[in-house]
Amino acid sequence: MTQRARSWWGWGYEDEALDDKQAGSLQKALSRRFGIEMPLRAAPDLRDLHLPEPRVSPPKSIAGLCEHDRRARASHTYGKSFRDVVRGSRADLDHPPDVVAYPTAEAEVVAVLDWCAATGLAVVPYGGGSSVVGGVECRDSADFNGTVSLDLTKLDRVMEVDSVSRAARIQAGAFGPVLEDQLRPHGYTLRHFPQSFEFSTLGGWLATRSGGHYASVYTHIDDMVEAMRVVTPVGVLETRRLPGSGAGPSPDRLLLGSEGSLGVITEAWMRVQDRPRFKSSAGVRFADFWDAVDATRSVAQSGLFPTNCRLLDPTEAMTSAGVEDGSALLVLGFESADHPVDAWIDRAVEICRGHGGDVPDGVTSSGPDDGSAAGREGAVGTWRNAFLRAPYGRDALVRMSCIVETFETACTWDHFPTLHAAVLTKVEEGLHDICGGGWVTCRFTHVYPDGAAPYYSVIAPGRPGSEIEQWDELKAAVSEVLIDNRATITHHHAVGRDHDRWYRRQRPAAFGEVLSAAKRALDPTGMLNPGVVV
């Protein structure tokens, strides 16, 4: 069977990208929307790419694990942020890794790190490469003799299943579909589905403190970790499997979110769940956005804990869910492996109706034997399909010199009105001054009893050749607003290089010193992902 080719510069599979006809239709629509003629560059061709010669060669002992051909190096140069995709679309790859290593066992990870330490090489741990914050780029390795991209995707097996404790030992390089396929025969699921699910790995989720698709309770990967095994330049760390512990600061918590700067995650014991059998969903429309916000907060504080509770503002509802009457849309969903969830969704809908909500398409439910698929029809289904296809559309927009960005954050409910007003004001000013137009939308991706995670999306016309500079200016302006309004610089996209200066302001200064001390202890030469987090 022929393996599908991943795009070396953009998102996903090459055969899933928008073709020229689809991109042309989008180009015409945006030209009408912006009132200007939008350009459309051809997609880059790998055959036209010229990379500098590798500065190092691996020794014979690990040469069989390593590649340095054009595609391997090009596809490991960047992640998938706007900045990355713009540079990739221009075939502008300034700092490609010299070598890409593909270990197939933990001992080979150790061997690669030993070679890099002895040779003075920087190492960038790499999972699926879906980072949107500059987390896997080699731009900060000037003090080293070369750079190795350490691709973990051949460590992709579910090693062990503990059906008594309902946990599984999984290698860090397993992509989302791969680990789910291996858990399915046991009747289990990890139940972690970020938008990047198809193209990201368990180790990447752990290293970036990933947030999954589900809106409440077990949404962050943090809550699913039972124990981890991590290779560092000074030895292997393995934490103890425990359901909970009050024994001092947690080593797992230190390593979660470290983005490969403290060690290379090779495997983890993860809490898994029985596969859902009962599902219910509904799309609730609100004439007033702030009524929708109040309803969402009430559902979040009700103790119902929906699997999906995603609020789309009117513009987002129109563009991604086909809601054309100016309503905000709250996408509600419940699921269970044990029992029907009709009572839960009925109560959530009742709460929403108390805040002026309407459910024109009714509630959709499915059970274990009826073969239906709750949440696949109506506005909810339209939104779901648009959500999964969005990154492919982003690549086409980049070819049109559009500025495409998201600002995702989280704040407590009492601060949201002020934050929302400040973000919209700053973005609209920036779009006018920097881009000459564009629009911004907002949705809640996750909700908690004490707050929400608003996610702002921006599309604007850019100046060909100046897109990154325009993006930098807009990104900086909005990031300042987030920090100044007591929100986080990121809820689930990690820090990387793009968020670093605001992360340093968000964390206490003394904690920065603690991280620096941990870096010196675990990675004395600073070889692991230099410039990230620490």
pLDDT tens digits for range 68-97? 999 999 999 999 999 999 999 999 998 999
Q: From residue 290, give the alpha-carbon distance in Å to each of 280, 287, 305, 326.
A: 25, 9, 21, 13
In this prediction, residue 164 carries a pLDDT of: 98
Nearest Cα to 459, choosing from 321, 322, 320, 330? 320
At position 41, the amino acid (one-letter code) is R
Q: From residue 90, give the alpha-carbon distance in Å to each of 119, 464, 468, 470.
A: 32, 11, 12, 16
In this prediction, residue 439 carries a pLDDT of: 93
In this prediction, residue 385 carries a pLDDT of: 74
CATH of domain 14-151: 3.30.43.10
Fold of 278-367: Alpha-Beta Plaits (3.30.70)
At 329, list the tokens.
């849309």
User: How would you write 370-429 as a 3-class SS string?
Assistant: CCCCCCCCHHHHHHHHHHHHHHHHHHHHHHCCEEEEEEECCEEHHHHHHHHHHHHHHHHH
Q: For the stretch 441-463, what's the b/e string if a residue is b when 16 or more beta carbons lie within 10 angstroms of its beta carbon?
A: bbbbbbbbeebbbbbbbbbbbbe
In this prediction, residue 368 carries a pLDDT of: 76
DSSP secondary structure letter of residue 303: T
All residues at 6 or more sequence positions from 303 whose CB lies less than 8 Å from its CB, including other chains = none
In this prediction, residue 475 carries a pLDDT of: 96
3-state helix, strand, coil in the chain (%, to 5): 35, 20, 40
Task: Identify the three-state secondary structure at position 472.
Answer: helix
Q: Rounded to an integer, what distance in angstroms lies between the CA atom of residue 491 and that of residue 485?
A: 15
Enumerate helices (H) and strands (E) in the chain, giving the number of each. Answer: 16, 19
pLDDT tens digits for range 451-505? 999 999 999 999 999 999 999 999 999 999 999 999 999 999 999 999 999 999 9
User: How would you write 133-150 as a 3-class SS string?
Assistant: CCCCCCCCCCCCCCEEEE
C-beta of residue 23 within 8 angstroms of C-beta of residue 7: no
By DSSP bridging, strand 122-126 and strand 147-151 are: parallel
Rg (CA), the chain: 23
All residues at 6 or more sequence positions from 411 whose CB lies less than 8 Å from its CB, including other chains = 419, 451, 452, 454, 485, 486, 487, 488
- Is the domain defined by 158-274 classed in CATH 3.30.465.10? yes
All residues at 6 or more sequence positions from 120 whose CB lies less than 8 Å from its CB, including other chains = 144, 145, 146, 525
CA angle, residues 401, 208, 199, in degrees to nearest 5: 60
Task: Identify the three-state secondary structure at position 132.
Answer: coil
Instruction: Tell me how crowded residue 360 is: count the other CB atoms within 10 A of its CB.
Output: 13
Nearest Cα to 195, choosing from 208, 172, 214? 214
Query: Over the chain (534 residues), what is each successive 10-residue block's mean pLDDT?
Result: 84 93 92 92 93 96 97 97 96 95 98 98 97 92 94 98 98 98 98 95 98 90 97 98 95 97 98 96 97 98 96 94 94 96 97 97 82 60 74 94 96 98 97 94 96 96 96 96 97 96 97 97 97 94
In this prediction, residue 465 carries a pLDDT of: 95
In this prediction, residue 84 carries a pLDDT of: 96
531: left (phi over 0), alpha (psi -120 to 50) or beta: left
By DSSP bridging, strand 264-271 and strand 225-232 are: antiparallel
Task: Identify the three-state secondary structure at position 514.
Answer: helix
Q: Which residues are paired to 237 by β-bridges? A: 230
List where CATH 3.30.465.10 sits in the chain. Answer: 158-274
Task: Using the structure block, give the residue that is written with the tokens 């009430």.
Answer: 298
In this prediction, residue 389 carries a pLDDT of: 82
C-beta of residue 409 within 8 angstroms of C-beta of residue 491: yes
In this prediction, residue 283 carries a pLDDT of: 96
Instruction: Let me know how long the chain is.
Output: 534
List where CATH 3.30.43.10 sits in the chain. Answer: 14-151
At 487, list the tokens.
């929100």
List where CATH 3.30.70.3450 sits in the chain. Answer: 278-367
Q: Rounded to an integer, what distance in angstroms lies between the CA atom of residue 135 and that of residue 503?
A: 14
At 207, list the tokens.
């290293």
Q: Rounded to an integer, what distance in angstroms lies between the CA atom of residue 204 and that of residue 165?
A: 24
pTM reported for the whole predicted model: 0.95
Distance of CA 447 to the CA centre of its chain: 17
Q: Rounded to an integer, what distance in angstroms lies between the CA atom of residue 524 and that of residue 457?
A: 40
